[in-house]
Copies of this chain bind each other. A is one copy, B any other.
């Protein structure tokens, strides 16, 4: 039986010839291409991460909600992205356990699964220094995903944990063989071994095929390409928890600061956007490593007064939370700021408060100051860089 091609399939061929007869600017006048195995972005949209040699930053100002598209998730690598064959990858759990065990990826997927939406943020997330900075420049080392995997407690139950164990070492299979020590309590609380990100397999940059997920803890501790966990009485004092991810606090150096402190940033309006007089919906994200966002306040008068912003529901624990505040701008130059309070009652501090609390040698880790955008009378928006004494 003769079969003529149908619909969109043949539309492609027809299009080439017929389109010439039509107004090229009117999409209603000629059929477009049909379905495909995998979609692509519109050619008019080109969101990108900003890569340096060791990291790349999420374009926060381009995102309208809180799940980061996987290909825009920030990166921080210490020896690049390993190529791992998932059929060969195994996770070893040993040390202070009743039975040291190895789990294949297939084994891990058979255990009861759970999905958790939370942010992962680099503990060094915060840059300042000039007015020409976008939210991506200032705070782009944070992203959010739907993570799916097995509760670490389920695996620890399977191997049996020795009563003497207090900590566990997690080790990656990248060329840095990255290690961090984590308190055992986190495993009984909410730690997971995850194999899926936004529904599909974790992306290579995020730890394919498995990573440790420690909701709310420093990004670096969420070991990627995880291959080994060792239960121990004491922390290992690895390079990443001593020489790195520690910071001067007056005359001491603080280490093992796990939770990411609550913070917020206005992503619209921000540099280099422009606004017009009248209604401007101020938008941004807020989050806390210690639980839910309780409230976000916005100031449109240089921090003199603060107004409650709307929080996008559902508000999840340890998760980027979108906030919005409707501002009726009178056209005068001003500064706009946001500050978050989390469910523990912690209010995001000013830079001045942080410097006062930690002293003049304050480092680049766990810096979560309130930040401001300057709105000029011409509607242009600029980052307000505030000096602090790190050098």
Residues of A within 8 A of B (CB): 5-9, 11-12, 25, 27-45, 47-56, 62-73, 75, 77, 79-88, 110-115, 146, 148, 173-175, 177, 195-196, 198-201, 203-205, 208-209, 225, 279-281, 283, 312, 314, 316, 322, 324, 326
Contact = CB atoms under 8 A, between A and B. Distances in A.
A227 to B, nearest CB: 8
Given A39-B70, A200-B47, A113 B34 contact: no
A35 B11 contact: no
A39 B281 contact: no
A198 B67 contact: yes
Given A65-B146, A110-B281, 19 more contacts: A5-B53, A8-B80, A28-B82, A34-B53, A34-B54, A35-B54, A36-B51, A39-B71, A40-B203, A42-B86, A44-B209, A45-B208, A47-B200, A63-B199, A65-B198, A66-B199, A113-B281, A114-B312, A198-B198
Contacts of A31: 79-80, 175
B73 A39 contact: yes
Contacts of A45: 86, 200-201, 208
A335 to B, nearest CB: 21
A386 B147 CA distance: 36
The 4 A-B pairs of least Cβ separation, nearest first, read A27-B82, A32-B80, A64-B196, A35-B56
B115 A65 contact: yes
A336 to B, nearest CB: 16
A100 to B, nearest CB: 20
A30 B81 CA distance: 10
A53 B65 contact: no
A82 to B, nearest CB: 3
Interface of A is mostly: loop
Contacts of A83: 27, 32, 43
A77 B50 CA distance: 35
Nearest to A86: B44
A229 to B, nearest CB: 16
Contact of A79 (B32, B55, B66, B112): B32
A373 to B, nearest CB: 17
A69 B70 contact: yes
A113 B326 CA distance: 10
Contacts of A80: 7-8, 11-12, 31-34
Contacts of A174: 27-28, 32
Contact of A204 (B39, B65, B79, B204): B39
28 contacts: A7-B79, A8-B77, A8-B79, A28-B173, A30-B175, A32-B79, A32-B82, A34-B53, A34-B54, A35-B49, A35-B53, A36-B56, A37-B48, A39-B70, A39-B205, A42-B84, A42-B204, A44-B85, A45-B208, A62-B199, A62-B200, A64-B200, A67-B198, A72-B200, A110-B279, A110-B280, A112-B324, A314-B316
